[in-house]
Amino acid sequence: MMEGSRQVETSRLEAYWREQLRLIITLLVIWFAVTYLHPPFAASLNKIKILTGFPLGYWLSSQFSITVYVILIFVYALTMNRVIDKKYGFEEE
C-alpha cells in the first residue's frame, strides 16, 4: 500500500519536472532566436529606419531584445504559478 502511493508521488514529480523542462526549453529557444538570429543581418537591418529614425538592427538589439527578455520572465513566472504548480498541487498559499 505504501509502495503504491510512493510510486504515484514519484510519477507526479516526474511529470511536473517534465512539464517544467518543456516550458524552460521553449523559452530558451525564444531567447536564443531573439539574441542570436538578428546580429548576422545587423548591417542590412540598419538600412531600415523605424520610429524616430532608429536603425532596425540597433533597435532589435537594444530595445526589442530586452523587452522580450522581460516578457519571457513574466511568462515563466505566470505559467509556473497559475498553470503548472496548480496542476500538480505545488501551489503556494
Q: What is the pLDDT of residues 69-93, one digit of tens each?
A: 999 999 999 999 999 999 998 887 7
Does some domain include residue 52?
Answer: yes
- Domain assignment present for residue 21? The answer is no
**Mean pLDDT value across residues 42-58:** 86
Q: Is 53 helix (H, G, I), strand (E, B) or coil?
A: coil
User: Does 12 fall in a domain?
Assistant: no
Residue 62 is assigned to a structural domain of this protein: yes
Helix (H/G/I), strand (E/B), else coil: 54? strand
pLDDT over threshold 80, residue 20:
yes
Mean pLDDT of the chain, nearest integer = 90
Q: How far apart are CA 27 and CA 48, in angstroms?
A: 28
In a domain, 43, yes or no: yes
Contact 61, 39 (CB under 8 A): yes
So what's the pLDDT on residue 1? 58
Domain holding 57, by residue range, is 29-87
When divided into structural domains, the chain yields a total of 1
pTM of the model as a whole: 0.80
DSSP E strands in the chain: the ranges are: 49-50, 54-55
